[in-house]
Amino acid sequence: MAETKSVEPIAKESVPFTFVKVLGSPHLRVAGLRCIASIFRNFFFLQTRLAFLPGLVPVSSVDHPLDNKIPFTPGKVNIYLDFVAFWIRAVAFLLKRFGRKGLEPSRDFMETMGTLYERAAEVYSKNLSTTERPFYISRPRFVVIHALDPHLMCIPSLHVMVVIRTYTFFQETVKSLGAAEELAPQIEELRRGALAITEAVLYIKQHSVNCIPAAMYAMTMFDSRLFPPEEAERFVSDLFTESKSPDKDEAQDIRQHILSLYNRFLTESNAAGCDSMESNSANWTAPLLAFLKEHPKK
> Looking at residue 2, what is its pLDDT?
41
* Total of domains in the chain: 1
The model's pLDDT over 13-39, given as tens digits with 9 standing for 90+, comes to 999 999 999 999 999 999 999 999 999
Arithmetic mean of pLDDT, 155-173:
98
Single-letter code of the amino acid located at 9: P
Per-chain mean pLDDT for the chain:
94
At 67, give phi and psi (nearest 5°): -60, -30
> Looking at residue 298, what is its pLDDT?
82
pLDDT of residue 1 exceeding 50, the answer is: no
Band (151; pLDDT cuts 50, 70, 90):
very high
Band (5; pLDDT cuts 50, 70, 90):
low
pLDDT of residue 191 exceeding 60, the answer is: yes
The Cα–Cα gap between 266 and 284 comes to: 9
> Looking at residue 277, what is its pLDDT?
83
Q: Are 89 and 21 in contact (CB under 8 A)?
A: no
> Looking at residue 178, what is its pLDDT?
96
Residue 5 in any domain: the answer is: no
Which of 3-7, 31-35, 48-52, 119-123 has the least mean pLDDT?
Answer: 3-7
Is the model more confident about 224 or about 282? 224
Residue 136 in any domain: the answer is: no
Percent of the chain with pLDDT over 90: 87
pLDDT of residue 7 exceeding 60, the answer is: yes
Residue 163 in any domain: the answer is: yes
Residue 137 in any domain: the answer is: no
- Residue 231 is part of which domain span? 10-131+147-293
CA 25 to chain centre: 26
> Looking at residue 280, what is its pLDDT?
56
Indicate yes or no: pTM above 0.85: yes
Q: Distance of CA 155 to CAs 1, 50, 197, 233, Å?
A: 54, 15, 16, 19
At 40, give phi and psi (nearest 5°): -70, -40
pLDDT of residue 76 exceeding 50, the answer is: yes
The model's pLDDT over 227-282, given as tens digits with 9 standing for 90+, comes to 999 999 999 999 999 999 999 999 999 999 999 999 999 999 988 888 888 755 56
The Cα–Cα gap between 244 and 261 comes to: 24
> Looking at residue 279, what is its pLDDT?
57
Residue 36 in any domain: the answer is: yes
Arithmetic mean of pLDDT, 8-15:
95
> Looking at residue 4, what is its pLDDT?
47
Arithmetic mean of pLDDT, 284-290:
96
Residue 2 in any domain: the answer is: no
The model's pLDDT over 203-221, given as tens digits with 9 standing for 90+, comes to 999 999 999 999 999 999 9
Arithmetic mean of pLDDT, 86-103:
96
Residue 273 in any domain: the answer is: yes
Residue 139 in any domain: the answer is: no
| Bridge partners, residue 128, by sequence | 59
Single out the residue of 118, 130, 61, 136 nearest to residue 297, CA to CA: 61
pLDDT of residue 55 exceeding 90, the answer is: no
